[in-house]
C-alpha cells in the first residue's frame, strides 16, 4: 500500500538513535511499574485509588490531548502552502474557555458520588439504558478518533522503519502500514497491562516533558542549519504573504464561512462547544480527573492543562522553521517522493535527514511515545467503559436473588483480569480500524483534521446527553434513546454524500420507524393494562404520542435531506465526486442540538420521586 523507495532516508536513523528510543521506552516502562503499585481492585486499576496529585493529572491531560497528531501534524498545517497560526485560535479561545466551564460546572456534578465515568452520572440521572447508550457512543467515537492517531504514527514508522517493514511485508504478506500499526498496538497494549490508569498518568507526565524538549531540539536544529539562524525563520515566515497579512504568523481569521476550520467564530462558538464534550464527557480525558483526591484538585487539573497550548505554539514555530529551511534546501530525490506520497511526513523527513543523531532519537521517542501513550489512555478508557456500562450491570442481573459473594478479593481479581482481557480486545479493534483510516483521509485536508473530526461524529450526542441530564428538565431518558442515534446519523449525513451513504441513511430511517411503531404499540398496551402486566403506570409524554411520531418522522426526513443536499459544492476529481461540506469543528455542536431537541421532545416526564432521588 505504501511502498515508496525511502531506504536512504530511513537509513539515516542510526542505531544510536534507536538506542535513545529504546532507552526511553524502558525508562517509562520501569516508571510505570514503580508508580502503579498493586492493582488489587477496579478502583486501583481505573481510578488510581483516587490519590493522584492534580499536577500529574494535568500533565497527563496535556500529553493525551497533544499526542502524535499535534506533535507531527501541526508542523505540517503551518508548513503547507497557505498554512499559518490560525489553528491556534481553537486552543487559545475555545479549549481554554471550555476547560473553565468544565472545571466549575461539570466537575462538581461528577464529584457528588464516586463514579468511574461521566456515563455513570448520565445513567444515574436518566436511567441505566442511557448509560448503556452513551457508553456505546463513546466506544464508537473514541475508536474512530484514536484510530486516526494510530494511523498517523504508522506513517512516521513507515519513514524510519522502511527496510524492516518491507522485510516483514515480504516474509508474511501484510503491507508496511499493517505492520507499523501492529507494532504500535503491541507496545501500547503491553504498557497498559502493566498498571492501569496510574501507569497511563505517570507515563504521560514524562511524555509532557519530552514534548517540550523534542520541539525545542527541532527548532534549535532549524536555527543552527539555516543560514541566518532564528531571525531568518521569522523573516521568511513573515514574508509568506500567501498565508495571510502576517505571513505564517497570521493568527486571526474573522471569516464567517462555515467551510473554514480555523476562524475566530469557529474557535469561540464551535470549539468551546465541542471542548465541553472533549474535556467534560470524553472518558479518555475525563478519566484522569476522577483520579484526583477531590473536586478542587480535579478543577485545578483540567484548568491547569490549558498550559498545553504552549506546546502547540512551540510545534507551530517548528512548522515555520521547516518552511524556512526548505526554502533554502528544497526537497529532492527520495525525500521528495516521500513528501509527495503523503505531505504529513514532512517533519519525520526533517528529523531523519537533518537533526543530529542521538537528538533525532529523542524527538522520535517523543513522537512514538505520544502515540503509544494516547493508545494506552484510550485502551484503559474503553475497557473501563465496557466494565461499568455492560459487564457490571449484567453480572448484577445474573446474581439477582443469590447471596453476595463471600470472597470479595476473588471478585476483585476476576474484575481486574477481565479488565486486562478487554484491554487486549480493544487493542485489536483499534489497530483494525486504524488500518481502514486511509480511505477516510481523502475527505479531510490533513491527518490533523481527520483525527479531530472523527471524535465529532458521536461527540455531539454525548454532550447532548449531559445537557439533558444536568438541566432541570424533569424528563427521563426514553427520548434520548431515539435522539442519540439520530444525532450520529445527522452528522454522518452532513459529511458523506456518496451513493453508498444514501443506502446507510435509508436503512437507518426504515429501522427507526419500525422500532418506533413497536415502541408505541408496547406503550399503548402498557397504559391500557398496567396492573395485568405487573408494570408501573408509564409517566406522561412531553408532547402527545401522535405528535412525537410526527417529530421523529421530521427528524428522519431532515437527516435524509441533509444526506442528499447538505453540501456546498460538488466537483468531479478523476471520475469521483468530491463534496465540499461544513467544517469539522461544527460536527459536535450540530449533533448536540439534534440530541437535545429530539431527546426532549421524544421523552416522558420523570415522576416526582425520581426527580427527588436525582
Average pLDDT over residues 518-529: 82
409 versus 106: the higher-pLDDT residue is 106
Query: Which of 470, 491, 506 is the C-terminal boundary of a domain?
Result: 470
Report, as an integer, the average pLDDT of 182-200: 71
CA distances to 148, 442, 446, 492 from 438, rounded to whole Å, are 9, 8, 12, 18
CATH code where residue 81 lies: 1.20.1730.10
pLDDT of residue 303: 92
Is residue 233 domain-shared with residue 379, that is, in the same domain?
Answer: yes
Which pLDDT tens digit goes with each residue over 451-505? 888 888 999 999 999 999 988 889 999 999 999 999 999 999 999 998 999 999 9
Domain final residue, candidates 470, 493, 512: 470
Domain final residue, candidates 446, 470, 494: 470
Domain co-membership, 466 together with 493: no
Q: Name the more confident of 366 and 500.
A: 500
DSSP code at position 605: B
In a domain, residue 409? The reply is no
Residue 52 and residue 292 in contact, taking contact as beta carbons nearer than 8 Å: yes
Answer yes or no: are the C-beta atoms of 147 and 437 closer than 8 Å: yes
36 found inside a domain: yes
Instruction: Read off the pLDDT of each residue in 136-157 and give the average, rounded to a whole number.
Output: 84
Q: Are 497 and 463 in the same domain? A: no
130 lies in the same domain as 223: yes
Are 63 and 110 within one domain? yes
Same domain, 434 and 543: no
Does the pLDDT at position 262 exceed 70?
yes
Dihedral over Cα of 357, 360, 366, 368: its sign? negative
Decide: 48 and 60 in contact? Cβ < 8 Å: no
Q: Are residues 229 and 306 in the same domain?
A: yes
Question: Are 511 and 384 members of one domain?
Answer: no
Q: What is the pLDDT of residue 364?
A: 81
Q: How far apart are the first and last CA of the chain?
A: 53
pLDDT band, residue 607 (cuts 50/70/90): low
Res 507 pLDDT > 60? yes
Where is pLDDT greater, at 235 or 342? 235
Q: Band of the pLDDT at 194, cuts 50, 70, 90?
A: low
In this prediction, residue 373 carries a pLDDT of 67
Mean pLDDT rounded to a whole number for the chain: 82
pLDDT given at position 49? 46
Which residue range forms the structural domain that includes residue 579?
471-614
Residue 1 domain flag: no
465 and 480 share one domain: no
Quick check: is 408 in a domain? no
Partnered with residue 573 across adjacent β-strands are 576
Summarised one tens digit per residue, pLDDT across range 369-419 is 767 766 776 787 777 778 777 777 777 776 666 655 555 667 667 777 887
Of the listed ranges 37-41, 345-349, 566-570, the least confidently predicted one is 37-41
Residue 561 pLDDT > 90: yes
Asked, for residue 402, whether it belongs to a domain, the answer is no
Average pLDDT over residues 435-439: 85
Same domain membership, residue 519 and residue 453: no
Lowest mean pLDDT among 170-184, 277-291, 490-504: 277-291
pLDDT value for 266: 93
Query: How many structural domains are present in the chain?
Result: 2
Take residue 405 and report the three cell numbers written for it. 459473594
- The reply to whether 494 and 441 lie within a common domain is no
586 and 555 in a common domain:
yes
Higher pLDDT, 227 or 611: 227
Domain-embedded: residue 212 = yes
Amino acid at each position: 500500500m505504501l511502498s515508496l523507495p525511502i531506504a536512504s532516508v530511513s537509513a539515516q536513523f542510526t542505531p544510536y538513535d534507536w538506542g535513545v528510543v529504546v532507552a526511553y521506552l524502558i525508562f517509562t516502562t520501569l516508571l510505570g511499574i514503580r508508580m502503579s503499585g498493586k492493582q488489587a481492585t477496579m478502583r486501583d486499576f481505573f481510578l488510581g485509588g483516587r490519590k493522584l496529585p492534580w499536577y500529574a493529572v494535568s500533565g497527563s491531560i496535556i500529553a493525551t490531548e497533544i499526542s502524535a497528531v499535534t506533535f507531527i501534524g501541526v508542523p505540517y498545517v503551518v508548513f503547507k502552502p497557505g498554512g499559518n497560526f490560525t489553528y491556534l485560535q481553537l486552543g487559545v479561545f475555545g479549549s481554554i474557555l471550555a476547560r473553565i466551564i468544565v472545571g466549575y460546572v461539570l466537575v462538581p456534578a461528577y464529584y457528588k458520588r464516586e463514579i468511574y465515568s461521566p456515563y455513570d452520572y448520565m445513567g444515574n440521572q436518566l436511567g441505566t439504558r442511557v448509560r448503556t447508550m452513551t457508553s456505546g457512543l463513546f466506544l464508537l467515537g473514541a475508536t474512530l478518533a484514536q484510530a486516526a492517531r494510530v494511523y498517523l504514527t504508522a506513517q512516521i514508522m513507515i519513514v524510519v522503519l522502511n527496510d524492516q517493514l518491507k522485510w516483514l511485508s515480504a516474509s508474511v504478506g501484510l503491507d508496511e502500514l499493517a505492520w507499523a500499526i501492529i507494532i504500535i498496538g503491541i507496545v501500547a497494549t503491553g504498557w497498559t497491562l502493566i498498571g492501569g490508569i496510574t501507569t497511563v498518568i505517570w507515563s504521560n507526565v514524562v511524555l509532557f516533558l519530552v514534548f517540550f524538549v523534542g520541539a525545542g531540539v527541532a527548532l534549535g536544529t532549524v536555527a543552527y542549519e539555516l543560514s541566518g539562524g532564528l531571525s531568518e525563520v521569522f523573516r521568511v515566515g513573515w514574508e509568506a504573504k500567501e498565508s495571510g497579512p502576517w505571513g505564517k504568523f497570521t493568527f486571526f481569521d474573522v471569516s464567517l464561512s462555515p467551510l473554514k476550520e480555523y476562524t475566530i467564530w469557529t474557535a469561540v462558538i464551535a470549539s468551546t462547544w465541542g471542548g465541553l464534550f472533549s474535556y467534560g464527557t470524553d472518558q479518555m480525558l475525563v478519566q484522569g480527573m476522577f483520579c484526583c483526591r477531590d473536586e478542587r484538585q480535579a478543577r485545578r487539573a483540567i484548568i491547569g492543562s490549558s498550559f498545553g497550548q504552549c506546546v502547540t505554539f512551540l510545534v507551530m514555530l517548528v512548522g515555520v522553521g521547516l518552511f524556512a529551511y526548505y526554502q533554502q534546501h528544497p526537497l529532492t530525490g527520495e525525500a521528495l517522493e516521500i513528501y509527495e506520497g503523503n505531505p504529513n511526513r514532512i517533519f519525520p523527513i526533517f528529523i531523519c535527514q537533518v537533526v543530529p543523531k542521538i537528538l533525532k532519537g529523542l524527538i522520535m521517542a517523543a513522537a512514538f511515545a505520544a502515540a503509544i501513550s494516547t493508545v494506552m489512555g484510550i485502551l484503559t478508557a474503553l475497557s473501563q467503559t465496557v466494565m461499568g456500562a455492560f459487564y457490571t450491570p449484567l453480572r448484577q442481573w445474573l446474581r439477582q436473588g443469590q447471596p453476595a459473594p463471600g470472597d470479595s478479593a476473588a471478585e476483585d481479581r476476576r474484575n481486574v483480569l477481565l479488565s486486562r482481557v478487554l484491554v487486549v480486545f480493544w487493542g485489536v479493534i483499534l489497530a483494525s480500524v486504524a488500518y481502514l483510516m486511509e480511505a477516510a483521509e481523502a475527505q479531510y485536508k490533513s491527518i490533523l483534521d481527520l483525527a479531530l473530526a472523527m471524535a465529532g461524529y458521536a461527540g455531539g450526542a454525548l454532550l447532548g446527553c449531559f445537557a439533558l441530564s444536568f438541566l432541570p428538565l424533569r424528563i427521563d431518558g426514553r427520548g434520548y434513546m431515539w435522539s442519540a442515534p439520530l444525532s450520529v446519523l445527522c452528522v454522518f449525513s452532513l459529511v458523506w454524500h456518496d451513493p453508498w451513504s444514501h443506502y446507510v441513511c435509508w436503512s437507518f430511517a426504515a429501522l427507526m420507524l419500525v422500532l418506533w411503531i413497536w415502541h408505541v404499540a408496547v406503550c399503548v398496551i402498557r397504559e391500557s393494562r398496567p396492573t395485568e402486566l405487573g408494570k408501573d403506570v408509564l409517566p406522561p409524554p412531553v408532547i402527545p404520542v401522535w405528535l412525537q411520531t410526527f417529530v421523529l418522522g421530521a427528524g428522519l426526513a431532515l437527516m435524509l435531506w441533509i444526506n442528499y443536499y447538505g453540501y456546498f459544492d460538488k466537483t468531479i476529481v478523476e471520475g469521483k465526486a468530491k463534496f465540499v461540506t461544513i467544517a469539522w469543528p461544527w460536527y459536535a455542536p450540530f449533533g448536540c442540538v439534534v440530541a437535545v431537541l429530539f431527546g426532549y421532545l421524544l421523552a416522558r416526564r420523570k415522576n416526582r420521586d425520581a426527580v427527588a432521588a436525582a
